[in-house]
Amino acid sequence: MRIIPAIDIIDGKCVRLSKGDYNTKKIYNENPLEVAKEFEASGIQYLHLVDLDGAKSKHIVNHKILELIASKTNLKIDFGGGLKTDDDLRIAFGSGANQITGGSIAVKDVTTFTNWIETYGADKIILGADALDEKVAVSGWQEESKEELLPFIQAYQEKGIQYVICTDISKDGMLEGPSFDLYEKIIKASSVRVGSIDKPIRLIASGGISTFDELPKLAEIGCEGTIIGKAIYENRIPLKQLENYILSL
Give the active site residues. 8, 130
Q: Which helix (H) or strand (E) holds 149?
A: helix 149-158
Gyration radius from the chain CA atoms: 17
Tell me how far apart the terminal alpha carbons of the chain are, to the nearest angstrom: 8
- Encode 115-137: b = buried (16+ Cβ within 10 Å), e = exposed: ebbeeeebebbbbbbbbbeeebb
Task: Answer positive or negative: Cα dihedral of 112, 118, 121, 126.
Answer: positive
